[in-house]
A and B are shown apart, each in its own frame.
Chain A
Amino acid sequence: MLLPGLKRLLIGSWEHKGWFSLAVVGAMLFSVLQIATSTVIGDVTEDVVVPSFAAGEPLRAALASGVLLIIGIAVLRAVTVAMRRALAAATQYSLFQTYRNRLVDVYARVPLLWHRRQSTGTLLSSMYSDVEATFFAMAPFPFALATIFMIVYATVVVAQIDAVLLLVMVGVIGLLIVMNIAFQRFAAPIAIESQRLRAEVSEIAHESFDGAHVVKSLGREDTEDVRFNRSADALRDNGVRFGYVRGWFDPMIDALPNIGILVVAALGAWRISHGHLTTGNLVEVAYLFTLMSLPIRSFGWVLGDLSRTVVGGARVEKILTVTDTQTYGAQTLPPGPGVLSFEQVDFEYHDDPATLVGGDEDTHPRRVHAVHEVSFIADPQAGRRTLAVVGPTGSGKSTIAMLAARLVDPSGGRVCLDGVDLTDLSAAALTADVALVLQQAFIFDDTVRDNVTLGEDIDEATLWWALETAQAASFVRSLPDGLDTELGERGGSLSGGQRQRIALARALARRPKLLILDDATSACDPSVELAILDGIRREMTDSTLLVIAYRKSTISLADEVLFVDDGRIVAQGPHEELHGSVASYRALVDAYEEAAISDALLEGQAAEALDVEEAR
């Protein structure tokens, strides 16, 4: 604990060495000035106070200069204190920034699947609490380092005076180290548990607030209370346990220099009586011990927090060393028709608890084979510009959409756009040419405009065109600030259908070569959906479309339908053809109609049933 902790602090110090070294200089100057203060007070006593009393009147000139000297040193000391404290804090805050930046870098660089496995609350907790824990001990660290100089200085001085007193000195330092090792042994497991529990508390809080609507509607506030309280209480108990350990460590560290002085006094008296030591020497040594008591305590503070440094540091490190990186190729997409091809694509979800940052009690690695040997081609030139993926809930459709957008990479086979493997495309090319609209529209806590442009330079005309095509223009116009209306976290102020349309406009505004809609209009009214699809077909004439949908009107727009079940393509062809030849397909897409007919028959509304038949 001791060495890894110090190592981490030293690495941190090195990373902001400018500020840190100045802080150490400040601390050292402070220590020197402290010694100077005592010397000056001693001198003033000897040269001014005592003679004044002897003379029976103040020696004004000497008094004035002595007093000014004392104040002058105090001012200098004030400057060095501020220097040491402020610069140590600056180092600490900058380290927080550096490590937090690294964490957000990782959060941004890792592939989607990594995020799917981690708990949001835990990652948030690392962002705040673990980073803080790592460098909590940085604040007293410069002072503690300066202390080493003082200790060395003191040891040298004492060594020249008397070997016995040197032994006391060494004994005190040795005891300090032994006590610290004992402390670390007790404290470390508690500190580890504390950081874990902190993450757990954060995890539960985040999830619980995220699902607040469900909690309310089922009246489960008490259940959530119990769940949260269990972790909060465990954290408290652990905190108390840590306090108990810390509770005896701190007073002992405090007492150590005092005990040292008492031993020095007793031994010193004995040495003097045997003529091995002068009184002046003993006073000097005792004085050195007094001076060292505060620095030794500050050393104790650093050591006391080392276990947290190690634990927090390890948790942060575990994230920083994640090797999963979403990598991109270097290729750009040549001008081309936008042919999307899946070649024998397989995809397997791996859920290995070992990769969890927070750890998990459930230790079964889980593999789910979501997509099996899927092959198809969407080729606008061959009359297959629009492909629909149809299948029952949970059959792997969304995974196909994510593969096509390269949110995930196939475990086998390849996905190509105009013959280029998606994994060879550069990030820029991929974003420019492929847009995916997810089933669950994610809206940023930002304005309508920023939600559509996502910070890109998209002109007003394109913006409105996209909103218009997504059937979002009219409601956006009626918002209080139009395009500049703040939508709130996750678009809280919008209805589900409105969120979907903003998300759709976001994709359209990029005029991608490949547009993937993953049931992206499910929350819209049928008429709105129809208008959206009409608009897309009319406006997006250069885009290849991969559409995941259930509605027959949507499906029938497609040039070809992929019917998937259980991760495999079970049938492929134009809608009419599948409808005629595949019974399970028919059952799925005709479900509403069948229901309507049977309903109508049941309820004796034969007339409407006839209408329906005719319409067919």
Chain B
Amino acid sequence: MSTTAPEKSSSRIGGEESNDEGTLATVRRGLALTPAALKGIWITLALAALATVGKVVVPVAVQNVLDRGIIAPEVPDVSFVVKACIIAGAVLVLTASCNVLMNRRLFRMAETALVTLRKRAFRHIHDLSLLTQGTEQRGALVSRVTSDVDTVSQFMSFGGIMLVVMSLQVVIATVVMVIYSPLLALTVWICYIPVLLLMTMVQRLIRARYQRVRTMVGRLLGGVSESLVGAATLRAYGITGANRDRNRQHIKNVRDAQFRVLKPQSLSFMLSETADGVATAVVIVVGVFLGTGALGIDVNLTAGQLVAFIFLVSLFSQPVRMGIEMLTEAQNAVAGWRRVLGILDTPADVTDPGGAIDPKTGERLDPEPDAVTLPEGPLNVSVHDLRYSYPDGPEVLHGLTIEIPATSHIAIVGETGSGKTTLAKLVTRMMDPVSGSVLIGGQRLDRITFDSLRLRVVMVPQEGFLFDTTIAGNLLYGKPSATEDEMRNAMVELGLGDWLDRLERGLATPVGQRGESLSAGERQLVSLARAYLADPDVIVLDEATSAVDPAADVRLQQAIEGLARGRTTITIAHRLSTAERADTILVLDQGHLVEQGTHAELVGLPDGIYAGLHRSWVAHRTT
């Protein structure tokens, strides 16, 4: 393994760096997805406005109390000062209460909007086809529903609130400035306009750089996830060190990406800080010239008013400064937000005609008009001129046509890479073919609602993936309503009763991460039982017993056959014991169907592929 982290952008899921949508567009799109969260936003904004008034009113009041109650009179007017202070204090308490209420509402809004987004993104990842899911590492996918969403929520809970308050404060400060002196107010704005224009450019740069940070975080989590899942292999080959260095490189890439944000970020801080000084200076100059009448315009500006106005400039520039600071932080959130939205933008390529879930609303769409459910009773499968190629790859299935009568047992054999698993995935609609069709029970596969399809057509993949719960918990995935007795019976019927009895905690045995507390064979047993409990009419076994011992395998196969009466069974196997007893054997070779028939018919074919495979099988079996 190279120690430099690979630069790959093969992901077909959106929201990466190349996307340069504006900040507001992202925010608008993000919030539009969750209209419910925006309910009562006007109340929130009104509270925010009140809270902000407090931020401006209180300093102004304090200034006045000092000026008029203490500095101006010969002897401080104690009762005026106390009264004024009490009033100012009351305003402060009132506006602070508004602030508290506003915070609560904003927190609630932000968290609600984000949880909706998080849930939709999670769901939509599941609605993407296996193929699209496979273009991004698991860890990176996880980052999109965890760290990316967290980035947004972290920002919302602090920066977002500040941004709202600061924007309002700028508005209110402007209003107050205009009341004092419209000309000077205009002067201040003229000083700030170039800064704000420059700022849009700087912010775009910051956003792009934060986008890279998010991507790098995704890769880091992808890399670490790989080293956690592959812990055994890393240790077996003593490459934990090299792998650690690789992860360190990912970590460094994240840090470097973060460091790259600092330059434009500093630039933006410097701009706003300098603008403050410039605006103050210009206001003094303009004010002095205006007030002394040197410009020939009579504006009635006294020295006292000018001094008060200088104080107002600081009330204006402080929120601008803070606002810009928060806007900078917001770019990070926007980058994360965009990656989450990127998931929702990725079209689900294998959709449920019975009503896919619209990621934009979270609602289930109406069923497509031609959606069908599978007919009652046993199901036949017919495949016509089926072709498939992986994106940017050569064709791997070249026009297969197969008839599988209802309740028959079909074995598919062929060398690895001959297209067996691809066929299995197409027949169970894990993927859609490039051309050709699959009919199940006479219905076009891509028109069958998932409710009906997944209930009655089940594929058991080779890996025997189990969830980190108990055996019973895993069996419930097959049939959520199954009782303990049903589960036990299913195990016994599959000939697994003895195995179960030997486990100290029986069905309650925890299986560990990915089922790794069990052996590979045991995992396959449980995943088979899980599918069996689902009680499908068509069951597709993709080398589902490859790691099971021969005696158990034979028992399983016999059990499946016994139980499978009335079911259509498609078995992919290299243990030809299954094939020997199948009603029909299909032999695939490099994506072509080359032989088809019963064991008796095929085994004698001169130069037949099946005959060859069988010879070596018998040799294996009997040597």
Contact = CB atoms under 8 A, between A and B. Distances in A.
A440 B523 CA distance: 11
Nearest to B285: A67
A393 B522 contact: yes
A41 B458 contact: no
Contacts of A128: 143, 146-147, 217, 220-221
B297 to A, nearest CB: 14
Contact of B269 (A67, A72, A82): A82
B22 interface: no
Contacts of B221: 124, 127-128
A220 B255 contact: no
B291 A86 contact: no
Interface stretch (B25-33, B110-118, B171-179, B180-188): B110-118
A44 B76 contact: no
B89 to A, nearest CB: 5
Contact of B142 (A116, A209, A225, A438): A209
Contacts of A539: none
Contacts of A398: 519-520
Contacts of A96: 251, 254-255, 258
A interface, over-half SS: helix
B416 A496 contact: yes
A363 to B, nearest CB: 12
Contacts of B527: 214
A336 to B, nearest CB: 20
Which of A349, A393, A497 has most chain B Cβ within 10 Å?
Answer: A393
Interface stretch (A50-58, A163-171, A376-384): A50-58
A224 B244 CA distance: 32
Contact of B550 (A118, A239, A592): A592
B558 to A, nearest CB: 7
Given A108-B234, A615-B618, 19 more contacts: A56-B292, A97-B255, A107-B224, A212-B125, A219-B455, A239-B157, A258-B92, A272-B75, A351-B510, A407-B235, A431-B238, A440-B520, A486-B8, A489-B222, A526-B576, A553-B620, A592-B553, A592-B554, A595-B554
B472 interface: no
21 contacts: A77-B273, A82-B267, A100-B254, A112-B235, A121-B142, A123-B224, A201-B145, A205-B122, A210-B229, A214-B461, A243-B157, A286-B62, A445-B226, A453-B1, A454-B237, A523-B574, A525-B613, A526-B617, A528-B415, A551-B621, A608-B603
A67 B284 contact: yes
A116 B477 CA distance: 23
B502 A566 contact: yes
The 9 closest A-B pairs by CB, nearest first: A74-B277, A219-B454, A243-B107, A431-B238, A247-B103, A497-B416, A393-B521, A236-B115, A591-B550
Interface residues of B, number: 206
A428 B514 contact: no
Given A56-B293, A269-B76, A596-B580, A93 B258 contact: yes
A157 interface: no
A612 B142 CA distance: 53
Interface stretch (B65-73, B199-207, B403-411): B65-73
Contacts of B108: 240, 243
A522 B416 CA distance: 12
A431 B237 contact: yes
Nearest to A593: B621
B516 interface: yes
Given A53-B291, A217-B454, A596-B580, A526 B416 contact: no
Contacts of A111: 235
A524 interface: yes
Interface stretch (B133-141, B375-383, B437-445, B486-494): B133-141
B142 to A, nearest CB: 5
A79 B519 CA distance: 62
Which of B287, B390, B623 has most chain A Cβ within 10 Å?
Answer: B623
A108 B241 contact: yes
A217 B463 contact: no
Interface string B493-533: 00000010010100000101110111111100101001100
Nearest to B62: A261
B100 interface: yes
Given A218-B478, A247-B100, A442-B230, A530 B620 contact: yes
Interface residues of A, number: 202
Interface string A205-223: 1111111111111111101
B58 A258 contact: yes
B307 interface: yes
Contacts of B93: 255
A129 interface: yes
A283 interface: yes
B225 interface: yes
Contact of A120 (B225, B521, B553, B557): B225
B179 to A, nearest CB: 21
Contact of B552 (A242, A393, A475): A393
Contacts of B551: 392, 587-588, 591
B373 interface: no
Nearest to A227: B467
A73 B2 CA distance: 51
B107 A108 contact: no
B294 interface: yes
A446 B553 CA distance: 34
A522 B546 contact: yes
Interface string B46-69: 000001000100110010011001
A243 B110 CA distance: 10
A67 B142 contact: no
Given A81-B269, A125-B146, A210 B462 contact: no
A421 interface: no
Contact of A116 (B78, B480, B516, B574): B516
B104 interface: yes
A39 interface: no
Contact of A526 (B111, B134, B522, B574): B574
